Structure 1
């Protein structure tokens, strides 16, 4: 075998291994590092600790048996029992931090962080180190050593990763055996010897469990398309000026990119307004496209803040040079340290709702038990969506809050009901979730659950839902 795979895990190489996907997703980053290690095990130098002398042809089981230790006890099943394998000599014990910065062919840590930030369009102060420890962007999440052990996974994941190497062209597969390829040196070339400056375009999908699906079905040559994604889009097609999309694409290719002056048809003000903003990114959210920008807001010309501008209501957009006197002084400060899309993503993860710049509060919800078991339990609603395991857990949370007498009385009433319920035959499930105050998307989410959910706290949100329900009831009176 002439070719040996001896590349270090640069951000460029890892991005190459998960094309059209963002490494800022924990799932995609873990997969990329696994593929890099697997390539070393197949094509690496004999001095590489992970190299497996498999020969030209091998099966997935032969690879597994050569790569892991104590296979019969910990790596034979598909149930993830490898998490209990604590043999330090087994590769399943190594964390993602080890693979990147401590092991063979390691990267220089701070340099890798900076390249990762640049490639993923993150804030320059993004907590990349803590992200690698917890594999989540939730700053409150504790380090999770088990989650970091990216080879302590079910066998099906590893089989799928071998198939990913087939799709990338690194190995052949005839349905049973995998075959090493003779000439794969051109599949990946380090940046300094690449002949093209063309970059992969990544469309991030925020829900991490879904982010990998489009990439899996991307290559469908000679096949019938089997994956479709339907999204609701409430804006009339004629109202979407596609020229704006190309205009913002050009703007964001400049360094630093300029501020813009918008003519915006404000629905709340019922008139056209001119506002100067620093455009950060485009977002599709709840049936429309939005421009997330920092600067003058529709209602407050003299206040600098965030606002989501609905794209179809932008009537005109022109760029302004940073030296333009029309730009507010507070906005000019952003030229030195501009916001990035990562900041918005972080805010969205902190609380439910798209108006990420609005105040944050916590709601307490009570679901009908049957509905909860069928549609709520074990489902993902938001990073902060958490179930109270028992009345004591809710009471403990309540004590830590600075609640009014009325709010305490309200929660105590439901706590007493819960305590008096047979724990083996519950009638309701209790949850908490952080949300953005006065965000209409939050109210619409609660309305969709209908009579299956009750807002117990806070009182303002409970009253809003009660008033809406009464208004709706009057519409349907016979």
Structure 2
């Protein structure tokens, strides 16, 4: 790490790094983060006089012109219209930061690399360059500060307060590479990379372009390129379950391409589609705001916020192969079909983000992050735990707990009649067994499937609802073999 602070230009790779690899979806935020880091850590910055710790109000006074409104209630349009100083940062377009006088960045090269990193077209990129990153509500920049704190750029000694890190504590940026690099890999390594990408290309259809490029490199007869005409024997195989037929995979890829195209648009939008509600075997109409995609246990899912299949307003995960339309219908924000609560979030700049989902996923084990959470306690025989549970990563909250600590944990986290039931169970169990605790999403099928996989060696002690369900399943399973 350099000793002079944050002195990096807003190059495509630096912006991609600040956007956590999602520059297409976080274009404006990446530049705001770059500007804030310049203000915080550039050796020539007047912000070095900020009090330590400081609050957002002090950042705001340094960042915006005196005429810029300070209200948290105004929309983006109202904030910008009320700011009469044309030199205020809220009026400055993206391109002015990137191609400022004295910048050493070649515009054509910068554009080409960004399009390669993001998949944006020239017209889409030009539109983004004309946008004004700081023409946003104050909450967005407050969230930027929280993000910088989470990523290690700032410290937060108390709620709403921040302080600068020492230069040597700052995250280290990636080493930039040529957009068409010499990978420096051996022949065998290129073949292995090719095979790995082919194995996972179904998750991200755009990887097919990379695979095709690698195939060309691997089989090109030109003396100036890597010759790999003799394919080595494959020794490493990756087996990922993806249960869809080829026809359904193509349909799912169509949905994914539509969503990625929608996310590349600055204004975003909502989607409308028919969805199979499997438990009731009926179709329901969905209007929702798509946030991000996941590949999870054999299928792809869309996490979205809006009217769910049961008519409630909130989060829901949709399996893409259960969407029953040829193409998603994109609704502009002015469409009267969009629910008012969703429009209100859009107007106030408070639409949900993938970061919120990740925070919920980290808080409790389970893909259905919007389910209520409960305390999991599992018991294993010591030898089974040693070989199949210890030193494995299931979830950040999944960890061993000493038998002596279980009673105190239950008294702290479980109330009412269930507390006494659990205490009674624990007191009848061996003190020498291995015990684990975690927070799980109650009713999440993925967690339940993992607990089933541990049968009969793993005993679920809590939650009692999960314990009862596993008991019912075990009794039903035994009934299948009564005549044996």
Secondary structure of the structure 1 residue equivalent to 2:456: helix
Preserved contact between residue 425 and residue 461 of structure 2 (Cα < 8 Å): no
Counterpart Cα distance in 2 of 1:173 and 1:382: 35
Q: Which residue of 2 aligns with 1:293?
A: 304
Q: Deviations over 1:159-192 (max 9, x none)?
A: xx99x889999999999xxxxxxxxxxxxxxxxx
Correspondent of 2:457 among 452, 456, 462? 452
Correspondent of 1:383 among 376, 390, 396? 396
Correspondent of 2:448 among 428, 443, 453? 443
Q: Which residue of 2 aligns with 1:327?
A: 338
Q: Which runs of 5+ in 1 are unaligned?
A: 25-97, 141-147, 153-157, 176-202, 206-213
What RMSD in Å do the two structures reach over aligned CA positions? 4.9
Q: Which residue of 2 aligns with 1:430?
A: 435
Preserved contact between residue 251 and residue 257 of structure 1 (Cα < 8 Å): yes
Give the drift of 1:403.
2.4
Are 2:291 and 1:250 aligned? Answer: no
Preserved contact between residue 152 and residue 170 of structure 2 (Cα < 8 Å): no
Give the drift of 1:276.
0.9
Correspondent of 2:409 among 373, 388, 397? 397
Q: Which residue of 1 aligns with 2:7?
A: 8
Counterpart Cα distance in 1 of 2:271 and 2:414: 42
Preserved contact between residue 7 and residue 42 of structure 2 (Cα < 8 Å): no
Preserved contact between residue 123 and residue 340 of structure 1 (Cα < 8 Å): no
Give the drift of 1:431.
0.9
Preserved contact between residue 380 and residue 457 of structure 2 (Cα < 8 Å): yes
Correspondent of 2:150 among 131, 135, 140? 131
Cα pair distance change 1:11/1:276, threshold 3 Å = same
Give the drift of 1:417.
3.8
Give the drift of 1:230.
3.4
Preserved contact between residue 153 and residue 170 of structure 2 (Cα < 8 Å): no
Q: Deviations over 1:102-127 (max 9, x none)?
A: 5869997979xxx9xxx99x986263
Q: Deviations over 1:201-238 (max 9, x none)?
A: xx9x9xxxxxxxx9xx9998656688764321122232
Q: Which runs of 5+ in 2 are unaligned?
A: 24-36, 49-58, 64-93, 95-116, 119-138, 160-166, 187-200, 204-210, 219-225
Give the drift of 1:453.
0.6
Secondary structure of the structure 2 residue equivalent to 1:8: coil
Preserved contact between residue 6 and residue 38 of structure 2 (Cα < 8 Å): no
Give the drift of 1:278.
0.8
Question: Which one is further off, 125-134 or 262-271?
Answer: 125-134
Preserved contact between residue 8 and residue 107 of structure 1 (Cα < 8 Å): no
Secondary structure of the structure 2 residue equivalent to 1:252: helix
Q: Which residue of 2 aligns with 1:468?
A: 473
Preserved contact between residue 289 and residue 311 of structure 1 (Cα < 8 Å): yes
Correspondent of 1:267 among 278, 282, 293? 278
Cα pair distance change 1:464/1:12, threshold 3 Å = farther
TM-score scaled by length of structure 2: 0.57
Counterpart Cα distance in 2 of 1:386 and 1:354: 19
Q: Which residue of 2 aligns with 1:67?
A: none
Counterpart Cα distance in 2 of 1:280 and 1:352: 20
Give the drift of 1:358.
1.0
Q: Deviations over 1:248-297 (max 9, x none)?
A: 12211222111111111221231222121111122111110111111111
Are 2:367 and 1:354 aligned? Answer: yes
Preserved contact between residue 385 and residue 432 of structure 1 (Cα < 8 Å): yes
Preserved contact between residue 269 and residue 299 of structure 1 (Cα < 8 Å): no
Counterpart Cα distance in 2 of 1:174 and 1:320: 46
Q: Deviations over 1:318-367 (max 9, x none)?
A: 11121121221112123232212121111111111111111111111111
Q: Which residue of 1 aligns with 2:355?
A: 342
Counterpart Cα distance in 2 of 1:108 and 1:169: 38
Give the drift of 1:443.
0.8
Counterpart Cα distance in 1 of 2:185 and 2:315: 54
Q: Which residue of 2 aligns with 1:239?
A: 248
Counterpart Cα distance in 1 of 2:343 and 2:393: 40
Cα pair distance change 1:438/1:349, threshold 3 Å = same
Q: Which residue of 2 aligns with 1:38?
A: none
Give the drift of 1:21.
7.1
What is the 5 A alignment of 1:271-286?
271-286=282-297
Q: Which residue of 2 aligns with 1:374?
A: 387
Cα pair distance change 1:307/1:414, threshold 3 Å = same
Secondary structure of the structure 2 residue equivalent to 1:397: helix
Secondary structure of the structure 2 residue equivalent to 1:283: strand
Counterpart Cα distance in 1 of 2:365 and 2:185: 47
Are 2:433 and 1:408 aligned? Answer: no
Cα pair distance change 1:391/1:305, threshold 3 Å = same
Counterpart Cα distance in 2 of 1:171 and 1:10: 24
Secondary structure of the structure 2 residue equivalent to 1:473: helix
What is the 5 A alignment of 1:135-174?
none
Alignment: residue pair count? 333
Cα pair distance change 1:335/1:23, threshold 3 Å = closer
Are 2:377 and 1:364 aligned? Answer: yes
